[in-house]
Amino acid sequence: MTPRRSNAGWYYWCMLEETARSAIDTFISAFNASDDAYVTSLLSQALTSDVVFWGPLGRSEGIEAVERFVLDIRRHPAGAGTMVRCSAVDMPDEWARYEWVFTTPDGGPRLAGTDVVHLRRSLIDQIIVFAGEIKPSGA
């Protein structure tokens, strides 16, 4: 017999997924803020103060470290780009993953990837960034 989720369990799971989607979309909106002054506020709404960030340059901790990363991306040499979530949020329990695309103006460089995030009390407390596509194995 296949286990069934109760209505309360299903509702709880949907609420977790909506909470994750909201935190993720707020995090992504920091890349697209109209002014650098809004980045910190947006990140504070999405991340815990002790967030652990595994990015392209290694591991760092705290909102300030994530803010530096976001501001560096916003100052891309090809111009301010646009970051968008381009997939649904897949969330088994407190971990979530989603795909994103960053595109610079005028058809400039484009980068895609997948982030994996962990949530604690409705905020992201860990971010693991996988930038680029995974190549098929050469078996």
Q: Average pLDDT, stretch 96-118?
A: 89
Q: How far apart are CA 35 and CA 42, in angstroms?
A: 11
Task: Count up the domains in the chain and report the number.
Answer: 1
**Percent of the chain clearing pLDDT 90 (strictly above):** 60
Q: Would you say residue 36 lies in a domain? A: yes
Report yes or no on 40 lying in a domain.
yes
Whether residue 47 contacts residue 66, with contact meaning beta carbons closer than 8 Å, is answered with yes
The verdict on residue 1 lying in a domain is: no
Domain extent for 75: 7-131
| Contact assessment for residue 53 and residue 60, using Cβ atoms and an 8 Å cutoff | yes
pTM: 0.84
- Residue 2 included in any domain: no
In a domain, 96, yes or no: yes
pLDDT band at 60 (very low <50, low <70, confident <90, very high): very high
Q: Is the pLDDT of residue 57 over 70?
A: yes
What's 39's domain CATH number?
A: 3.10.450.50
Q: Which of 76, 80, 55 is nearest to 65 (CA)?
A: 55
With cut-offs at 50, 70 and 90, classify the pLDDT of residue 27: very high
Which pLDDT does position 15 carry in this prediction? 61
Look at residue 56 and tell me if it is in a domain. yes
**Structural domain contains residue 15:** yes
> In this structure, is residue 137 part of a structural domain?
no
The predicted model gives 52-80 an average pLDDT of 91
